[in-house]
Amino acid sequence: MAGSILFLVALVISGAFIAESLSAPSPRRTYSSDKLIRVHPTTPDQMETLKRLQTHPAVELDFWTAPHLDKDVDIHVTKTAYSDVTRRLSRAGLKQSVLINDLQSVIDQEQISMEIPDFFVGPAGNMVASSGDKTRNSDIVGKYARHSEIDSWLTSIADQHSTLARTESIGTSHEGRDMKVIRIGKNHQERIKPMIWLEAGIHAREWISPATAVYTIHKLLTQYGVDPEVTRLVDEFDWLILVSANPDGYEYSHTTDRLWRKTRTRQSGRCTGVDPNRNFDIAFGGAGTSTNPCSDVYPGTMAFSESETRNIRDSLLANRERIKLFLSFHAYSQLLLTPYGYTSSKPADNAELMRVAEVGIASLKTIHGTSYAAGSPPDLLYAASGGSYDWAKAVAGIRYAYTYEMRPAAASYGQSGFILSESEIIPNAEEVWASLVTIATEIQY
């Protein structure tokens, strides 16, 4: 009898594996012996060397943090490029430290952690033990869920809280996946209240971003009438939350390439994808982009070339008179970024934007002691054009627009910045939630 049961279990697992394999577009990419290295440029010449490497079409590099003078720069180097890159860095006087010696081993550990029983947030906000494989549990809070799981969960939780929420589609992705948003608010059907618009997952590999948006939705709906702060925010605002802003890329990062960042549109030659957060019509093709279609920061042939960014644009424009706060979730660096990303020039109301950001990150720190910095990308990171929050501020006219760069603060020895353990989801989401409460309370409209 026991043998029969084991056979049936093996058969079910094999069937699931076969089904998953059939749905995968191509073999899973491996990063065996690829390294994550760190350099620290201190001279203009060293900066120039890094910028040349960043745009060199024949050198396989993925800059996880862009070159910035007197700042740490993390670079993913393939095993085939490592010797050449090391020589180039050495000639420029750039000392490197190896943070991760085998990137695939970190990815493998993440995958293992996702298959074992863990804990998730229960209906009352308490931690509940999950039963069995986490990927098959209907409650996805605290997990790295697939796009289809997120889609089903949004429908389910909206149905469970139908007086406060409903889902709606803002369009489909390039590959035909639904881009579903959830609208949350007391009397949201009347569509007269000020609105908060939250976008997550625009960069596919930043899994902590959609997971934090899922937690936020769960908090708003399950704690309404229980937590006074939640109740006030649901009464005062309509929340429009897009959990998966790049569904094709996100799914591809699960099935085929864990570190995929872009969309999945076919570009010239062998290259695929556009960086959707360089595809908005604000200083398009400027700082922080590349004309190389294979680059992770390739902005596309024209602004809004991607169906995903057009869908976001159209939803923002349709609600622009009501949206008072736009938020974009990203990873990593532990920053709350203010406009503008594409220029060192500041908006006229920068002092107000900074005031709100500073009190927001102060509230965030009270939860787990996590420190964030606030400021514009050119001041804290690097200039980057074509971003969603810059477009929301400068073109759609939304006064308060911010980008979160969430945990971790930096990649560390043996730990990847983008490959964050599922155990980090809830603590990260809890502290981000605390900042959201403060920011939503502080904005003036």
Domain extent listing, the chain: 35-101, 117-442
Mean pLDDT over residues 254-264, rounded? 98
Mean pLDDT over residues 65-71, rounded? 89
Q: Which of 10-24, 66-80, 168-182 has the lowest mean pLDDT?
A: 10-24
Question: What is the CATH T-level fold of the domain 117-442, as seen in this structure?
Answer: Aminopeptidase (3.40.630)
pLDDT of residue 6: 38
Tens digit of pLDDT for each residue in 135-157? 334 589 999 999 999 999 999 99
pLDDT at 12 over 50: no
Give me the active site residues, please.
405
Specify the higher pLDDT residue, 76 or 116: 76
Mean pLDDT over residues 421-437, rounded? 97
Rounded CA separation 178/176 (Å): 6
pTM score of the predicted model: 0.88
265 touches 174 (CB < 8 A): yes
pLDDT of residue 411: 77
Nearest to 416 by CA among 59, 108, 191: 108
Q: Which of 82-91, 137-146, 157-166, 340-349 has the lowest mean pLDDT?
A: 137-146
Specify the higher pLDDT residue, 164 or 6: 164
Tens digit of pLDDT for each residue in 84-93? 999 999 999 9
pLDDT of residue 55: 80
CATH code for 35-101? Answer: 3.30.70.340
Specify the higher pLDDT residue, 269 or 110: 110
Mean pLDDT over residues 286-312, rounded? 96
Alpha-carbon separation of residue 24 from 17, 29, 257, 264, 316 (angstroms): 11, 11, 11, 14, 33
Rounded CA separation 233/235 (Å): 5
Rounded CA separation 82/302 (Å): 34
